[in-house]
């Protein structure tokens, strides 16, 4: 970069950390990193720092962890730093118009979709569940509404047939890290003009809950397998068998047609558990009982008897 822009970085989860590291690597001055407070995690409920905090401290950056982004004290603190940019990546707090007006140039957000598609909190899972052929990341000038700001740059990537939310998450995080550097350089050098989104074609995603992982065996096999991949690793695709909750970690489409009720197990051969789904079938390849490790179907069947005719619910 021709000069070192002054940036206040805001982010919280793993998805945010590559962008922070990339900005530092390319010579940006990160005057402050703002992230969520430490939270209790795991069975022991031990207080754990968010990934962005860990990365920021390793980089020797100042970290600020407010419970809220509202209040005069917050705006005074940020104004005093005279930032050129905010860079916001999966932060988890909404910013007011007063805060968005603080940067001398732009408040920029990195969003994990090709806007205006998939505004909201689960764009990665939505792209996989809808069996899209491409996905990507977008940098935009932030507005007070959800992901409605003017677009700066986009970067695209094809989706493979075995893409999971985890693999796409990791790839888009790295793409976003490259794109934010490219975006800031282009803005500083007056090589980019923000473009308004076409709000008439916008689509929205919701915040996922654990119950969203439940498999609907009445759907066609392609949709079920896409659902499994979209829910991996969280919240996890699951079903019930004889009252027990079973996580389905991997599955594939079978072209075997069956008139059996959806969810019915009709074969446990060939190291696969074959299940009626829609008008055809799905083969479960990897699965996991609660409080157990993930097993391939062959390993699972060694320790668990499954009879044909039993039904996943």
Residue with tokens 């407010």: 66
Task: Read off the pLDDT of residues 227-245 as tens digits, 9 standing for 90 and up.
Answer: 999 999 999 999 999 999 9
136-158 pLDDT, tens digit per residue, is 999 999 999 999 999 999 999 99
Characterize the bridge pairing of strands 39-41 and 238-241: unpaired
Sign of CA dihedral 84, 90, 92, 96: positive
Question: Within 10 A of 220 (CB to CB), how many other CB atoms are there?
Answer: 14
Q: Which residues pair with 238 in a beta bridge?
A: 214, 247
Assign domain 6-201 one CATH number from 3.30.500.10, 3.30.70.260, 2.130.10.10, 3.40.50.170. 3.40.50.170
pLDDT at position 44: 79
| One-character DSSP codes across 119-174 | BSS-HHHHHHHTT-SEEEEEEEE--SSTT-SPEEEEEEEE--TT--HHHHHHHHHH
Q: What distance in Å separates the CA atoms of residue 11 and residue 90, rounded to the nearest whole number?
A: 5
What are the sequence ranges of the domains in the chain?
6-201, 210-303
Angle of CA points 32, 35, 41, to nearest 5°: 145
Q: Is residue 235 reached through a cis peptide bond, with omega within 30 degrees of 0 on the bond before it?
A: yes
Bridge-based pairing state of the strands 85-89 and 106-111: parallel
State CA 218 to chain mean position distance.
26
pLDDT at residue 55, as a whole number: 98
236 burial via Cβ count (<10 Å: 0-12, 13-18, 19+):
middle
Query: Which pLDDT does position 29 carry in this prediction?
Result: 98
Q: In the CATH hierarchy, which top-level class contains the domain 210-303?
A: alpha beta
**What is the C-alpha to C-alpha distance for residues 309 and 159, in angstroms, rounded to an integer?**
35
Output the tens digit of pLDDT for each of the chain's 313 residues: 567 999 999 999 999 999 999 999 999 999 999 999 999 987 778 899 999 999 999 999 999 999 999 999 999 999 999 999 999 999 999 999 999 999 999 999 999 999 999 999 999 999 999 999 999 999 999 999 999 999 999 999 999 999 999 999 999 999 999 999 999 999 999 999 999 999 999 999 999 999 999 999 999 999 999 999 999 999 999 999 999 999 999 999 998 999 999 999 999 977 899 999 999 999 999 999 988 899 999 999 988 889 999 999 9
- Distance (Å, rounded) from C-alpha 82 to C-alpha 313? 57
Q: What is the distance between the terminal CA atoms of the chain, rounded to a whole angstrom?
A: 57
Cβ atoms < 10 Å from Cβ of 305: 8
**What is the C-alpha to C-alpha distance for residues 35 and 52, in angstroms, rounded to an integer?**
7
Q: How far is Cα of residue 130 from the mean position of the Cα atoms in its chain?
A: 15
Dihedral of CA atoms 108, 235, 213, 93 in degrees, nearest 10, equals -30
> Which pLDDT score is estimated for 297?
94
């Amino acid at each position: 970069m021709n000069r070192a822009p002054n940036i206040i970085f805001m982010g919280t989860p793993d998805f945010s950390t590559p962008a922070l590291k990339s900005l530092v690597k390319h010579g940006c001055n990160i005057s402050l990193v703002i992230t969520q407070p430490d939270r209790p995690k795991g069975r022991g409920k031990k207080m754990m720092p968010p990934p962005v905090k860990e990365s920021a401290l390793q980089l020797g950056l100042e970290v600020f962890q407010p419970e809220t982004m509202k209040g005069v004290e917050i705006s005074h603190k940020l104004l005093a730093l005279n930032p050129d940019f905010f860079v916001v990546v999966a932060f988890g707090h909404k910013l007011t118009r007063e805060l968005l007006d603080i940067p001398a140039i732009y408040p920029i957000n990195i969003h994990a979709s090709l806007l205006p598609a998939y505004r909201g909190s689960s764009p990665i899972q939505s792209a996989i569940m809808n069996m899209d052929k491409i996905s990507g990341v977008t940098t935009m000038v932030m507005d007070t509404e959800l992901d409605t700001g003017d677009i700066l740059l986009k970067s695209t990537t094809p989706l493979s047939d075995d893409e999971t939310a985890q693999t796409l998450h990791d790839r888009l995080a790295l793409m976003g890290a490259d794109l934010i550097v490219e975006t800031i350089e282009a803005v500083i050098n007056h090589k980019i003009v923000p473009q308004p989104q076409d709000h008439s074609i916008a689509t929205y995603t919701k915040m996922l809950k654990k119950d969203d992982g439940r498999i609907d065996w009445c759907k066609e096999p392609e949709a079920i397998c896409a659902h499994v991949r979209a829910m991996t690793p969280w919240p996890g695709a699951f079903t019930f068998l004889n009252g027990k909750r079973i996580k389905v970690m991997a599955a594939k489409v079978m072209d075997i047609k069956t008139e059996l009720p959806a969810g019915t197990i009709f074969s446990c051969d060939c190291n696969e558990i074959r299940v009626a789904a829609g008008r055809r079938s799905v083969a479960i390849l990897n699965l996991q009982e609660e409080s157990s490790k993930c097993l391939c179907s062959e390993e699972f069947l060694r320790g668990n008897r499954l009879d044909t005719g039993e039904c996943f619910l």
